[in-house]
Structure 1
Amino acid sequence: MKLNRLLCGCMLLLPFCIQAQDVGYVPPPSSETEEPGMPLRSALNKLGKLHKISFAYSSKLIDSKKVPAVSSTKKPLPEVLDDMLTPLQLQYKKIDEGLYVIQPALISEQNIAVPIKGTVKDKDGQPIPGVTIQVKGTSVGTVSTPEGTFTLNAPDANVTLLFSYIGYDPQEIALEGRTELNVVMATSSSQLEQVVVVGYGTRRKRDLTGAIGSVQGEELTKQPVNTATQGVQGKLAGVQIISSGAPGSQPLVRVRGTGSMLAGAEPLYVVDGVLTNDIRNINTADIVSMDILKDASSAAIYGVRAANGVVIITTKRGKIGKMEVSYNMNAGFREVAHLVKMANSTQYTDYLKDAAPNVTLPGYNVSTNWYDAILRKGFQQVHNISLSGGSEKFLYYFNAGYLTDEGIVNVNKYDRLTIRSNNEYNISDKLKFVAQFSYMRSNTRYVDLQGIYTNTYRASPLIPVMQHGKYGNTAAFGNVGNPVLTIDKNNDKLQEGRVQGTTYLEYSPWKFLKLRSSMSVNQSNFNRKKYNYKFLNDETTFLIAGGNQQRPESQLTMVKEQNQEWLWDNTATFQQRFGDHDLTVLAGYTAQKYQGEYIEGSRRNVPISTDLWYLIAGDPNTSTVTADGDKYARTSILGRVNYSYKDKYLATISFRNDASSRFPSENRNGYFPAVGLGWVLSQESFLKDQQIFDFLKLRGSWGRIGNDNIESNLYILTGSTGQQYFFDGKATLGTSLADIKNRNLKWETTEEYDFGLEFTTLKQRLTGEINYYNKKTIDALVGVKIPGLLGDPDNEYITNAGSFVNKGWEFTLQWKDKINEDFDYTFGGNLTLNDNEVTGLNQGQPLLKGGVGGQGPVTKTDNGHPIGSFFVYDALGVFVDQAAVDAYLNKDGQKIQPDAKPGDLRYRDANNDGRITVDDKIYAGSYQPKLYYGLNAGVNYKGIDLSMDFYGNAGNKIYNGKKAFRYEITDNVESDYADKRWTATRPSATDPRVLSNSMPASTYFIESGNFFRLNNVTLGYTLPKQLLERMKMNRLRICLTSQNLFTVKRFSGFSPEMISTNPKADGFISAQNNSSPLESGIELMPYPTTRTFAAGLNVTF
């Protein structure tokens, strides 16, 4: 009842408006006569005032026309309109007593001689309904049917026909005696006419006042990627995407820099109205477009969750016409793109002579490459089949997809089944019902990435992988487990299911007003079963007994997690054009609730048979149970006004009020306003005669957005039960304080200014965009150290005590040209310059993070520096001999490093106090790149298409943590270090004699993160239309593609792209990588990036 009253109230407020989607509406004018030469629009305004009527018309139809002669307003209205319109080849049609439609005049049949017919299709052979076909220079015209066919009568068979449709390039075709045409329309080369999803609505790109980047779905499907965002790498300015090679993983996405220190820094994803933080369930083949709201003005409509940008994904829907059946697939293999080359047996033995001369070497005659032992070429394949079509009453789209990815690590595998069904029912001209449903089920065979890669890097090449059915005992020599045994003795499987759905009812009581009520559901479940096999460190398992790699008891761990979330959106949208004024008003209310539960249990001594892998089969005395849960809710009120005058002056105002249960009641509400202004200079009279710009627009915006991506109960004090204490001489069960919480916790808030320039030139061949942004985050959550006597186990107190800024420039240029009907090409690029700086830590405490072995923290976040900056000693090189040690003196003549030996690193006395202490540490760069960029090129010639994508970044640093993290002196070393390290006979000036865990963190371990990568190359061929018609097909395309073909870099580690500090096998719970912004850029043992080679096929019937 409340909803009905709300909707009826909205209707009663707007009874004076009429339909005007594509047409102009004339309000009452202010004069009563029409003068020769007066604009037709003004003349109609006056007639509307005089006769109390309204006129509807296409702006393009009348904007250039003027009244030819004086029309007496004393004549009857029909005569006045005839006098005014007939000379202009126009006519009117009376709809009712108050509304007249102006339209092109019909040519009398006696002048029509030649019937013309034909079809209009897109480049994929699909019919395009609603295309306007007009005889050039006349008002004779028609539109294409739902099947893409058309018929019209032309004055003769030598006229020229004009074809036009929104989103496609217009065409002029001379008949030259032909009476039947088959027309293929190309997607519009003008990005200005593209429709962009802006959150609860759409806008033309030319009308935007904010910064929004868009990628079309067909661009994503060209690449053999498993997650949609991976296909956006390097394509959009201001958007940095870092991918892992792990099957089923989700790339890390950063929009205009790091957006938080402690709260989540990932963007919000909106998939057909469903809000989520995980899009691994989205099939790339289902995507129409991906629009990324980069600035606060665009994202503020999503308020509480928009601080890190918003990624809006729109999936496919049916089109009017007969059923279209489409099948596409690609299959190929993945391999590791780059590995660290480890020392062979000769290099390793030579190293141990200096590092551990007393160690007895094993007697095997081997030189084991442990990476070869655990890695493989993994097969991957993707299959999709879709059905789509419909009528004016019902549109449908259905797709089923299957993906399998073996990964590059032995036994690692990911399988995914997806189903999507999008249906639209037009119940009447005013009422529409839409149901969108998706289902995903995946199975993953996990491997212990951290343990396997750590041991592979450390393991001695002098130990064999396996001989005679027994494992080489790496643990007996060097205290490092055999990584192949680790893989074989663990069986870790995850099954994940996800259901997402949106249904909405849209009612239009008048054509200018839409009322929509939408309900979205997002439900997921995870079931993990991990079995650890029993094995001993005796000679039944290993070639020799000993070491600490053993498991005396088998163990079964089972995890179950369920998450449920619903979102109810209610919006009213008013859209109308009043002459030169275009107005869209949005108002809405949303409510959201989430609840999740997690339980984990384990038992030991579970039988080895897979049929008995149940907890009840294990030893009850070894049971462990862990449970957790979460729930939160949000409610929101939102509104937005879009206004334009003559498509020249643009304004957007939005507001959102969010209430989140994740904050205490006094700080629960957040207010997020935004405003954007645009000025299309190319529409101004003083620029109409210039020949440089086809389109030129200036825009500026300001907005405020929030971030509540934190733990739900971060402000609530918690306690631990089961604690005993003595009271009155008796042991009493009690509760102790678990941690200290901040009752005044509040929102992280981000304010951003954005200024942009957009242009097209050279007959729309060249498109460009320049943006400047200044994004400041205040009240950022940080962990402040507190005295231990306060009772917090971590001695940490989370509070709003930080502020930082991201500011920078974005540049985009794209050239598109069509030489002839057979040949077109494109190339372009984008560049982002970003500067991150901490501007205030209100408690005065720098944040030290990123511990690497015995080195302690290697990052420091403090005022005046980027988040997560490296803070280490400055290594100046190596003492080449004892004379160099003796010569390194302070002003008093004393040795600055008195305990140093030849071959040790020399550190700079940064504070000039004559000794090396913690006060000598310096800031040595950050993991955040100062610039990142993308380049693209493509060419199409007679059905052959070739495209290439490049991307890279510069100005960032990486801490080679795996080199610094030394568990044992017998750990293997990298081949390059083994050849270049200092020795008595080869006194190196760059690499120390020995690497040990006790070495302090220094610039020796910091390397450049700059790289340039050929990300994708695709070569395809589309069969010609004539051949397809004989084969009864609409489209057939074959292609070869490669992902991550080569990388130019200076970093000696696995990959200069750092997605995670330290990957975990159980990261599936949140589907997020676990890389904290305070300690990113430290390479320990990441999953190596992969290179993919694949072949693809696309067939449409």
Structure 2
Amino acid sequence: MEEEDRTFELSGTVIDAEGNPLEGVMVTLQEKTELTKTNSNGLFKINVLQDDVVIYSLPGYEIAQKIVESDTENLDVSLQKLLIGETLANVAFGTYNERELSGAFSSTKAHDIRKNAVNTIEQALNGTVAGLHSIKNGSQKFGVSNYNFYLRGLATNGSATPLILVDGIDANINLLDPKEVESITVLKDASELAMYGIRGANGVILIKTKQGSEVSSYMNLELKSGFQTPSYIAPKLNAYQYTTLYNEASTNDGRASVFNTGNYLNPTDVYRYPDSDFPDLFLRNDTESAYQNYTFTTGGGNSKARYFFLVGYMKQGGIFSVPVDFSSVNQTYNERYNFRSNIDVDLGKGFELNTKIVALNDQKRSPNAGGTVNNANNSLFASIMSTPANAYPVLNSDGSYGGDAEYQQNIMGILQSGFRNEATKQLTVKAEITKDLGTLLKGLSLNAVYSFENYNSYYNGESTQFAVYELNPDDTYTQYGTQDTKASSFGGQMTDFYNDATFMAGFNYDNTFGDHELKGSVITHQYTSRVSGDNPDYRWFGTSSRLLYGFKNKYYAQVSGAYQGSNGFASGNRYGFFPSAGASWIISEEDFLKNSEVVNYLKLRASYGLTGNDRSTPRFLYRQAFTRANGYGFGNPNGSVDGTTEGTLANPNATWETAYKTNIGLDLNVLNQALAVTVNYFHEKRTDILVPQSNVVPDLIGVDLPVYNAGEITNAGFDAQLDYNKTFGEFKFNVGANMSYAKSNVVDLKETAYRDEEQYRYLKGNPVDSQFGLVATGIYNSQSEIDADGVVSSYGTLKPGDIRYEDLNGDGIINTADRKAIGNYLPEIIYGLHLGIEYNGFDLYGFAEGATQYNIMVRPDEFSSYAYENRWTTTTGTAQSVFPRVSLESEHNSQTSTFWQEEGKLFRLATVEMGYTFPKQVANSLSISNMRLYVNLDNVFSTTTDRENRDYEATSAGYTQYPLMKTFLLGLSVNL
């Protein structure tokens, strides 16, 4: 008999422990896609076979199972409610219930990760987690990181990069597909970070990938396609404007005019007097920068085995083009293939095996404009934006490339003369085995992990040589460069090769004795990294442990820490001990709050401990280095013999930075758990920061002095997260916000001593990320104003139209001694906002991020449209100008100063997604279980600077660097 003939329909009711019906309970069949939900009376119906396993799940309740034994069976069940806060949290070296922990951590789940990201997981981190600063590192980049991460601000003058782990293992996340990820957790306080020893002071980002489930099975195909367009391209001067401005700059310097501008106003010969609009010629139309992403995922399993698989493909087009036939080999793009396999198997006798296999293949292509693909993209874009419109005609009248002695790199010639490919291959394998040792001691288990990751990048390409030709007055041409259309090949290994290996083994303990709960772990771990061209290997070895005690589900205390070392330090000085302690109190479990109708959950927690940062420490400071240097004459006849020079003196006592971290936090759920609030106050004192001895020790011995551990910086602030979720029948609504404030203070960095009248030059007492510059008070409008000030500039002769700076030390000279702290470049306040609405199959999601209390420098180029329209002249003076006089020689106006400073006020509508889920009967008619159609917009809107409308987060993007991109996608998600 066919399987369908043996299917029968059963019904049931789901209630809670008090007998109340539960609405919205997901009822599924193990290893099948069949599913249904209970109605307002807790009733459901489902088609089953004999021996099917029915799974009942509802957030906030324990999962229940029931085996179908006959076609007359009743599927009624009662679900036990979980205690508030019993959600599992992915933390240091394990998974614990949130209510048990005293630490500070924030997390985001797969649902929001998928909607926030286009093709990199880093976009999912941007503004979504309280306490995490994720700042764009310049322009858009193909397949590599363009974010700098800071956790709770900055507490060091060295590397502040957090440690990033995927499933507990060091891993490269540049190529990680967002749909592989289940959750992202950011660890922020000592109770968690101390377990990472000398690697934990900057914080830790834990990325957990998806696992199979014995509750439900699924197969999903997601298709996304659309296009990208630059969010900003700076305006350029045409040939007449450029030559006019150039002549003015020349005359401002006392020179003669260079160009006859009338030839460019109405040119009669476009080859002698070109007006080339390079951006219009060589940057693609909006719809030509295509983007596509296709992903297949499947997951499921039962109590014996669980699985998750992903296969993904992504292709992102570039923005370069040419106005004639364009060979496909020169197109700019990034193409990626992702594969992941996560499998959990119960081997019997208490053994469980978990394996993870990840394979990635990333391909990037760009014109052969020099260096890596990303450098080539930036270099080519900068050429397009900075080459004057009158520099050369793109093509001469005879079809040859235009150019001259100064401009020999014709942009069309570059685009048509070759390409560069970069191929990155990454293979990651992790095997983990767990053995239940409950027969020896209840709650005891053994765990062991081995993982390795190989990362290789190769490049290849082809190039031809081209010449440019300058038209002479006698209609002949002068050739510059060599013309050779024969392609030559090149290739090799890139320098970012590495091979990582991780081994961990230890014991876990989890047991309850009446009102007492005891959990703990002891884990030994070793991480080794072999980096191309850097020998010997990097090695970290240590033991981490945690002991947690709970009483009556409301009082918790824990101690944790690590004893860890690195081969980067001298023998006998490689290991350190990093302890921490924390406690928490579930106040809502006390009698005076236990039956509150308003407060559902209230938890107070605190922690203190220390951890380290060795990322700022150069390797092998303890070893004395000698290098080969210039030779000396020796012998008869005189010959050259190699010499040896003593390098920087060794510092055998060099060690890591030490961070003393304090955290006090509060978690609150009110209004029947609809509103959840988390608030943390933190303070950190970072000591043993490396500083140069040359600042305080006279340089008399003829050899460089080493850095040494003597600096101190403090950092303090707070972070908060708020989430509100409510359901009104078919209408679901959720809104959330997070915000963090962090301010650093330099206590002592052993700075060079300054005179009493120059105390303003110290970084001490200011944020560690302070920018130093001159203090501007306006623009000189006349020579008499300059004479009245009685100062001279070391950056050029002062003339009317120059910026007026304060002479802070009163010596009559404007120079570096007049620089002071004028602002900080890292935002002290960051925030994120999200909104989600669902109704009758329709859904809307929006996410925004912002930052404030920081400063940026926006200095337009002297030959920009902004300078042309707003410059100082002898006729306009300062009344209409906001840009100083233009000059070809003077550097006075280009100095870092408050004149070019703007207050940072970033607000970005990062993501908007609108979707519709088709009714179940429509999906079933197509032989699928679920289908959703949606539109996704990324980088929708951003506030811009007062000057030139640049992005507050990446001021050079679209100006001198490859632009940030807006993305418009149409997507289809199908559950098979």
User: Structure 1 length as normaliser, TM-score?
Assistant: 0.73
1:1009 alignment partner, SS class: strand
1:951 alignment partner, SS class: strand
**1:390-431 per-position Cα deviation (integer Å, ceiling 9, x unaligned):** 232222222111111123345432111111111111011511
Q: Name the aligned partner's letter for residue 965 of structure 2.
A: T
Given the alignment, which residue of 874, 878, 881 partners 2:779?
878
Corresponding residue number in structure 2 for 1:524: 455
* 1:692 positional shift: 3.3
Corresponding residue number in structure 1 for 2:886: 994
- What are the residue-to-residue correspondences of 1:110-509 with 2, within 5 Å? 120-121=27-28, 149=54, 165=58, 167=60, 192-243=85-136, 244-250=139-145, 251-262=147-158, 264-276=159-171, 278-320=172-214, 324-356=218-250, 357-360=256-259, 364=270, 367-376=275-284, 377=286, 378-409=289-320, 411-445=331-365, 446-447=373-374, 448-463=376-391, 466-468=394-396, 473=402, 476=405, 481-489=409-417, 491-509=419-437
Change (3 A) 1:134 1:828: closer
* 1:530 positional shift: 5.6
Corresponding residue number in structure 1 for 2:716: 807
Given the alignment, which residue of 973, 989, 996 partners 2:863?
973
Corresponding residue number in structure 2 for 1:594: 529
**1:470-496 per-position Cα deviation (integer Å, ceiling 9, x unaligned):** 57756656x695445444445322111
Distance 2:128 2:902 in 1: 26
1:559 aligns with 2:493: yes
1:903 alignment partner, SS class: coil
1:260 alignment partner, SS class: coil
Could you tell which deviates more after superposition, 216-225 or 520-529?
216-225
Is the Cα–Cα contact under 8 Å of residues 125 and 1035 in structure 1 kept in the other structure? no
Distance 1:804 1:432 in 2: 46
Q: Name the aligned partner's letter for residue 902 of structure 1.
A: P
Is the Cα–Cα contact under 8 Å of residues 476 and 545 in structure 1 kept in the other structure? no
Q: Name the aligned partner's letter for residue 1042 of structure 1.
A: L
Corresponding residue number in structure 2 for 1:923: 821
Is the Cα–Cα contact under 8 Å of residues 814 and 827 in structure 1 kept in the other structure? yes
Corresponding residue number in structure 1 for 2:13: none
Is the Cα–Cα contact under 8 Å of residues 459 and 480 in structure 1 kept in the other structure? no
Q: Name the aligned partner's letter for residue 696 of structure 1.
A: L
Distance 1:655 1:897 in 2: 54
1:466 alignment partner, SS class: coil
Q: Name the aligned partner's letter for residue 568 of structure 1.
A: F
Change (3 A) 1:321 1:198: closer
Change (3 A) 1:834 1:545: farther
* 1:183 positional shift: 12
* 1:360 positional shift: 3.0
Change (3 A) 1:887 1:473: farther
Q: Name the aligned partner's letter for residue 1092 of structure 1.
A: T
Could you tell which deviates more after superposition, 1024-1033 or 781-790?
781-790
Distance 1:824 1:558 in 2: 55
* 1:725 positional shift: 2.6
Corresponding residue number in structure 1 for 2:465: 534
Given the alignment, which residue of 508, 521, 534 partners 1:573?
508
Corresponding residue number in structure 1 for 2:750: 842
Is the Cα–Cα contact under 8 Å of residues 679 and 718 in structure 2 kept in the other structure? yes
* 1:898 positional shift: 11
Change (3 A) 1:962 1:896: closer
* 1:640 positional shift: 0.2
1:720 aligns with 2:627: yes
2:706 alignment partner, SS class: strand
Change (3 A) 1:806 1:551: farther
Distance 2:310 2:472 in 1: 49
**1:425-457 per-position Cα deviation (integer Å, ceiling 9, x unaligned):** 101151111111101111112152453344334
Change (3 A) 1:707 1:735: same
Could you tell which deviates more after superposition, 652-661 or 297-306?
297-306
2:526 alignment partner, SS class: strand
Q: Name the aligned partner's letter for residue 248 of structure 2.
A: D
Distance 2:744 2:228 in 1: 35
Equivalent pairs, count: 883
* 1:594 positional shift: 2.0
Corresponding residue number in structure 2 for 1:939: 837
**1:749-774 per-position Cα deviation (integer Å, ceiling 9, x unaligned):** 21211111110111111111111111
2:197 alignment partner, SS class: helix
2:723 alignment partner, SS class: strand
Q: Name the aligned partner's letter for residue 650 of structure 1.
A: Y
* 1:119 positional shift: 7.5
User: Structure 2 length as normaliser, TM-score?
Assistant: 0.82
Corresponding residue number in structure 2 for 1:14: none
**1:233-256 per-position Cα deviation (integer Å, ceiling 9, x unaligned):** 121111111344212121222111
- What are the residue-to-residue correspondences of 1:676-691 with 2, within 5 Å? 676-688=582-594, 690-691=596-597
Is the Cα–Cα contact under 8 Å of residues 339 and 1053 in structure 1 kept in the other structure? no
1:764 alignment partner, SS class: coil
Change (3 A) 1:687 1:321: closer
Change (3 A) 1:121 1:940: farther
* 1:686 positional shift: 2.5
Structure 1 unaligned runs (5+)?
A: 1-59, 65-88, 90-117, 137-142, 151-162, 172-178, 599-627, 847-858, 964-971, 1064-1082
Q: Name the aligned partner's letter for residue 628 of structure 2.
A: T
* 1:383 positional shift: 1.0
Is the Cα–Cα contact under 8 Å of residues 630 and 643 in structure 2 kept in the other structure? yes
Distance 2:709 2:828 in 1: 27
Distance 2:320 2:692 in 1: 37
Change (3 A) 1:1060 1:634: farther
Structure 2 unaligned runs (5+)?
A: 1-15, 20-24, 43-47, 65-71, 251-255, 265-269, 322-330, 366-372, 755-759
Distance 1:206 1:1052 in 2: 49
**1:271-304 per-position Cα deviation (integer Å, ceiling 9, x unaligned):** 123213x211321111111111122222221222
Is the Cα–Cα contact under 8 Å of residues 303 and 657 in structure 1 kept in the other structure? yes
2:460 alignment partner, SS class: strand
Q: Name the aligned partner's letter for residue 588 of structure 2.
A: S
Q: Name the aligned partner's letter for residue 493 of structure 2.
A: V
Change (3 A) 1:430 1:144: farther
Change (3 A) 1:591 1:1001: closer
* 1:819 positional shift: 0.9
Corresponding residue number in structure 2 for 1:696: 602
Could you tell which deviates more after superposition, 896-905 or 508-517?
896-905
2:878 alignment partner, SS class: coil
Corresponding residue number in structure 1 for 2:654: 745
Is the Cα–Cα contact under 8 Å of residues 334 and 1092 in structure 1 kept in the other structure? yes
1:807 alignment partner, SS class: strand
1:300 alignment partner, SS class: helix
Corresponding residue number in structure 2 for 1:1090: 965
